[in-house]
Structures are given as C-alpha cells and as structure tokens.
Amino acid sequence: MNPYLPVLGVFLFALVFGGIMVALSAFLGPKKYGKVKHQPYECGVPMVGLRDKMSVKYYMTAILFILFDIETVFLYLWAKSFKSLGWFGFIEVLVFLLILVAGYIYVVRRGALKWD
C-alpha cells in the first residue's frame, strides 16, 4: 500500500466533515437579517474598504522565510546522511552555512528584521 494513500483519505474526510459543520451552521439556528447586525465588527468606527490595495508589512519576513526554510530543508537531508558523508559533508555544509550566516548578517545590518 502506498504510504501516502491515507493523505487522500484524510483530505476527503476533512472536506466532508468540515462541509457538514459549515452546512450545520447554515441550517440550524435562527435566521434574521439586520442591516447593523451584518456589518463587520468595527467598534463603531466607520468601515474601511479592505478590497483596495494595502501595504503588507510582513512582505520582507515572508521572503526571508522562504530563504531560510529552504535552507532548513537542505540541512535535513544532510543531517539524515551525516554519518555516511563523513568529514567531507561536514566541511561542505560548513561552507554553505558560512555563506548563509554572511547573508543573515547582511539582512540584520540592513534593518530588514526591524519592526516598529
């Protein structure tokens, strides 16, 4: 049996279970439309149009995440075969890590990790 087959099963199940829950909330319970009730919750402040363009403050974080996350995945594969690679693999990854740390220091120095 393919070990990834249950993934498909879980996906279908989550779809069905979640669908049932979402449908339940639509069918059960009272239904009364109210102009004020159906406004987004804004504590009395006038609504802001969110479908316009907006600045995403965490854009840089997301890009850095991709960079470092891929690096982590590389390290996993190296760690798995660490004992069979020996000193050769160790030195190679050391060089890789040094380049990465240089990039990390650059990122910190340029202030990409500052929040205000």
Is 29 a residue that touches another protein (CB under 8 A)?
A: yes
State yes or no: residue 26 binds another protein (CB under 8 A).
yes
The total of other beta-carbon atoms located within 10 Å of residue 105's CB is 10
Helix (H, G, I), strand (E, B), or coil: what is residue 92? helix
Q: Establish if 57 lies at the interface with another protein (CB under 8 A).
A: yes
Q: Which of 111, 89, 87, 107 is nearest to 99 (CA)?
A: 107
Residue 110 half-sphere exposure toward CB, CA atoms < 13 A: 9
Q: Does 95 bind another protein (CB under 8 A)?
A: no
- Copy the structure tokens of residue 46: 């006038």
**Among residues 44, 53, 109, 116, the one that binds another protein under rule CB under 8 A:** 116
Q: Is 55 exposed, middle or buried (0-12, 13-18, 19+ CB in 10 A)?
A: exposed
Would you count residue 115 as binding another protein (CB under 8 A)?
Answer: yes
Shortest Å distance, C-beta 110 to another protein = 13
Helices (H), 5-81: 5-27, 59-80
Contacting residues toward another protein, per CB under 8 A? 1, 3-4, 6-7, 9-11, 13-15, 17-19, 21-22, 24-26, 28-32, 37-43, 47-48, 50-51, 54, 56-58, 61-62, 64-65, 68-69, 72-73, 75-76, 79-80, 82-83, 86-87, 90, 93-94, 97, 100-101, 104, 108, 113-116
